[in-house]
Structure 1
Amino acid sequence: MADDSTATASASAPAPASPCSAPSRPTDPDFLSCVLQPPTSSSSTSRPDPDYAALRRLLLRRKSSSALNHRMEWRCNGKGYVAYRNFLLRRIEAASSSAHSTPSNSGRWFASPTTFSEADSWSSIRDLRSNSGKLSRTMSVSSKQSEPERHVRFAEPAYSFVGMHCIFDNCKASVTVLQFGRTNSDLLAYGSSDGSLTVCQVSEPPSVLQKLTGHSKDITDFDFSSNNQYIASCSMDKTVRVWEISKGTCIRVVYGVSSQLCICFHPVNNNLLLVGNANREINAINFSTGRVISKLTCDNAVTALDIDHTGQLIFAGDAQGYIYTISVNSHTGSLSRTHKNKSCKSKSSITTIQYRTFSLVARCPVLLSCAQDGNLYFFSIATNSHGYLTLICSLKLASPVQNIRASFCPLLSLEKGEFIVTGSGDSNVYFYDLARPKNSCVNKLQGHGSPVMGVAWNHGENLLASSDSDGTVIVWKRAKTN
């Protein structure tokens, strides 16, 4: 790399020098330039050999093009070879001037104010050093920014979005809940307060596949079957409906005595539906017959629920902020309550319960809970104690909105931290790192014109869908990262 970056510098050096008289530090730019000085001719004069510069240029030009192509394709932290070379040169410059790096610049690669191309690999150290003043001024300005601004500006690559992938605005009522198909990156469905359920595909070209109508009031929740052939939905009209997606028809209706608030398929036995209602019950319903085969009574209306990947534990949240751990038999559907968690400080209704198999932060299964008052709770799950919950941390959203929903970012959290995404009353989509006690907001997406109600990731987490109270659904496309 030293040969490439000093090619022109050697041709314009002021005077020859001996390598023996150079400083002992191999990273000193003066030492590098001395080593590459043209040797003196064999004559008695001390003039440099006039053929040296031309010969050296010829040798450099005859170097294999694969090396240059390799440098052009080389990437690290989203930056190219030139950025890395400039980073090293600035380190050399700082070391030679005995300057100390600031905390805001340590461990990061900053691009120079000048736009570089890979052809600049042949530029001289002298030209690069002439830009060091501009670079230091740029760094000093960036170091004066507030901490939250730096988090957003230098957000991790996993949170870089290239814009909106598509927009669905065919719904005229508030979209309260949305979800991608199971292990599917293309199938998206969303339910609204007018009782309609819309099924879309987000691949090119995006289109609406089915609009399922039958509910007379707000859709409170729905879930895909494991093969994405059916959707089970519940509503404030006191019914549970099962839809066949390909035909767009309702194949079964289960009537209740109160509003049905949350629903999910059993992950192991897809013939089992679990439904929570305003009558303080969790019902296990046979998918084939529509009959209630088991029920469990809680202390308050059951507003949210999720089930672990083994199908043995249900986690349910109620209207007073309590979270229940319930044991379920995968074959018979029998339910039995094991724990009632009271660590949530708010007495607000739970809007989101989401289970995650493993977390790098907790080193065990975890649970995310979101309440109507904007409080987020992050729990660890003790699998050897029948799902006992331990509160790890909590977060208060700045601008909560009623019935807001949140979601884990499972793949992104494999890098570091514990990331979640949530809607907000200020029409933005926010990303938070629950592992950071301060400055937990790491990014936000702006594009909605009204409060954002729901968020959902697709299977590959390259697409994020969000919905608002005006009925608009935006699918955001995440940038590709190495």
Structure 2
Amino acid sequence: MTTALQQQVFALDARYNALRAPENPSIRTQYIRRRSQLLRETKRNLDQWKQYTKLRSMLLQKHYGNAKIDSESRSLSKTSILTENQTPVNQSSTTVIPTKQAVASKAIVGGNSIAENYAFSGVHHIFDQHAKAVTMVKFANNDRTKLCCSSGDCNLSICDVISEPPAVLAILKGHKKLVTAFDWSINNDLIASVSLDATIRLWKTNDFSCLRTLKEPNNSQILCCMFQTSNNNLILTGNCRVGGNVLCITSDNDGKILWAGNSKGEIVSISCELNGALCILRRFSYDSNCCVTNLSYRTWVSREARDPTLLVNATNNTVTLLLVNDNQGGVRCRRVFKNRHTKHMIKSTFCPIMSFREGACVVSGSEDGSVYFIDVEKTGPKAIVNTLQGHARTVLSVSFNYDESLLATSDLDGLVIIWKRGNVVQ
């Protein structure tokens, strides 16, 4: 409980941070880093923290007035911002995760509850190397330390989050406009990035040099990319002719089927050959009045459940689980959760090692500045197993390192917060 109150103080400072030293962003970042450090070091009892939080809120409001985020995004309670839609379309009655009888699987993670496993709370570090929104963060594959960030300032950065202190290893410069997306190759020796400047750049991670630059033939903006899972010599971009702007893509584990989400609220399944040949298979109309901003694929590899599932973010205020129900990539709706999301390119992610637990968790950013951990097998307010409140603006992207010891989140102000796993205080 004390940790939760410390986080509330940090969230309060973050909301007002944009009002501090408006002409000097570096001072604001130094301030919020120091506040995070002091909160971790200060020992208080429960009642003292409650009194301190209330008093600090009053003083900040008196000095700065109401922070903009209070009057709009924070007006809803935690339970009303993110609750399960009670009438999802074509919802399956079957479970999608290991059952209560999965004793061996639960033992692998110590038999902890899902809330205990995802009690992220402490701030490990704050990066501020980007001057504009950080559009995407992603840890290297099977790696605890390397994090890549892309930004609206036209640059990418590679960080070491474990070093003492955590450090920015390199700034990758070359794109002329906002960097929309990137992907690590399977062995992390390359990073592919795409941009509104209609180029694809391939970066070497050993010396941070640009290996190659490719121009989109029709000079169209490129909004997403990924390495082909089975053939890292191929880079797939959001240029398939499936209608609307292709905003996001993902693939199954073999790279044989892709799914593309577009600006017309559609999700299209596409077959992909090893030579790069593409063929449209299925078209799923998610919501014609919204944009599909993120797709993630996951198969629960366990004895109890093997259902392949897509995790979807869309600008109709939802986070959705779709069941992949045929070998052509067809999908049907399984579970819908509400989330503050109307216009930005918000992303979510599956938790990496949820296959071994009772319950399954996903994490999503939100336009209210919070990060939500959602147990996809629960309903209503109980679905929210944790909420991180440290960003003052929309949280655009989230990423776990492979062992779930750290979580990276990024926002519209260009801040990247590295959260560390905490302990639940009973």
AA in 2 matched with 1:371: A
Tell whether the 8 Å contact from 1:413 to 1:419 is kept in structure 2 after alignment: no
Which residue number in structure 1 is paired with residue 201 of structure 2? 241
* Matching of residue 314 in structure 1 with residue 227 in structure 2: no
- Residues 161-310 of structure 1 aligned to structure 2 (within 5 Å): 161-205=120-164, 206-256=166-216, 257-276=219-238, 281-282=239-240, 297-310=241-254
Matched-pair contact (CA < 8 Å) for 1:198–1:211: yes
Pick closer, same or farther for the CA change 1:445–1:300 going to 2, 3 Å: same
Q: Give the structure 2 partner of residue 285 of structure 1.
A: none
CA contact (8 A) 1:362 1:380 kept: no
**Alpha-carbon deviation of 1:411?**
1.9
1:357 aligns with 2:319: no
Letter in 1 for 2:115: E
Q: CA 1:399–1:313 in structure 2 vs 1: closer, same or farther (change >3 Å)?
A: closer
SS at 1:195 equivalent: coil
Alignment correspondent of 2:267: 323
SS in structure 1 of the partner of residue 126 of structure 2: strand
Structure 2 letter corresponding to 1:328: C
In the alignment, the residues of structure 2 paired with residue 372 and residue 397 of structure 1 have an alpha-carbon distance, to the nearest angstrom, of: 9
Amino acid at match of 2:372: Y
The residue type equivalent to 2:210 in the other structure is C
Q: Which amino acid in 2 is paired with 1:242? A: L
Residue 157 in structure 1 maps to residue 116 in structure 2: yes
Shift of 1:346: 5.0
Aligned-pair Cα RMSD in Å: 2.5
The 1:161–1:169 alpha-carbon spacing in structure 2 relative to 1, beyond 3 Å, is: same
Q: Does 1:453 align with 2:402?
A: no
2:299/2:306 contact within 8 Å kept? no
Q: Distance in 2 between matches of 1:211 and 1:354?
A: 27
- In 2, Cα distance between equivalents of 1:350 and 1:399: 11
Tell me if structure 2 keeps the 8 A contact 1:374–1:401.
no
Equivalent position amino acid for 2:174 in 1: G
Note if 1:338 corresponds to 2:281. yes
Runs of 5+ in structure 2 lacking a partner? 1-76, 81-112
Alignment of 1:415-426 (within 5 A): 415-426=357-368
| Distance (whole Å) between structure 2 residues aligned to residue 421 and residue 230 of structure 1 | 26
Distance 2:341 2:183 in 1: 28
SS of the aligned residue for 2:117 comes to helix
What is the alpha-carbon distance in structure 2 between the residues aligned to residue 309 and residue 337 of structure 1? 18
Change (3 A) 1:477 1:338: same
Moved over 3 A (4+): 146-149, 359-363, 398-401
Q: Give per-residue Cα distances to partners, 1:122-157, cap 9 Å, x unaligned.
A: xxxxxxxxxxxxxxxxxxxxxxxx9969xxxx9721
Q: Please tell me whether Structure 1 or Structure 2 has the larger radius of gyration of its CA atoms.
A: 1
Q: TM-score with structure 2 length normalisation?
A: 0.69
Partner of 2:411: 468
**How far off its partner does 1:410 sit?**
3.6
Q: State whether structure 2 residue 334 is matched by structure 1 residue 392.
A: yes
**Alignment size in residue pairs:** 313
Distance change in 2, residues 1:395/1:184 (3 Å): same
AA of the residue aligned to 1:244: K
Within 2, Cα distance between the matches of 1:217 and 1:414?
42
Partner of residue 318 from structure 2, selected from 375, 396, 406: 375
Question: Taking structure 1 as the reference length, what is the TM-score of the superposition?
Answer: 0.61
Q: Secondary structure at the match of 1:156?
A: helix
Task: Tell me the CA shift for residue 247 of structure 1.
Answer: 1.8
Identical residues among aligned pairs (%): 35
Residue 408 of structure 1 pairs with residue 350 of structure 2: yes
SS of residue paired to 1:157: helix
What whole-Å deviation, never above 9, does each CA across 1:314-370 have from its counterpart, x for those lacking one? 11111111111111112x21111111112x235311111100022779641111111
C-alpha displacement at 1:307, in angstroms?
Answer: 1.1
Q: Deviations over 1:283-331 (max 9, x none)?
A: xxxxxxxxxxxxxx2122211001111111111111111111111112x
Q: Distance in 1 between matches of 2:300 and 2:415?
A: 33
The 1-side partners of 2:254 and 2:362 are apart by 23
SS at match of 1:317: strand
CA gap of 1:338–1:267, structure 2 versus 1, over 3 A, is same
Deviation at 1:193, TM superposition (A): 0.5
Alignment CA distance shift 1:480-1:236 (3 Å): same
Tell me by how many angstroms 1:464 deviates: 0.5
Q: For the structure 1 residues 398 and 262, does the alpha-carbon distance in structure 2 shift closer, same or farther, using more than 3 Å as the test?
A: closer
Summarize deviations over 1:420-440 as a string: whole Å, max 9, x none: 111122221111122223112
How far residue 417 of structure 1 moved from its aligned partner, in angstroms, is 2.9
3-state SS, counterpart of residue 154 of structure 2: coil
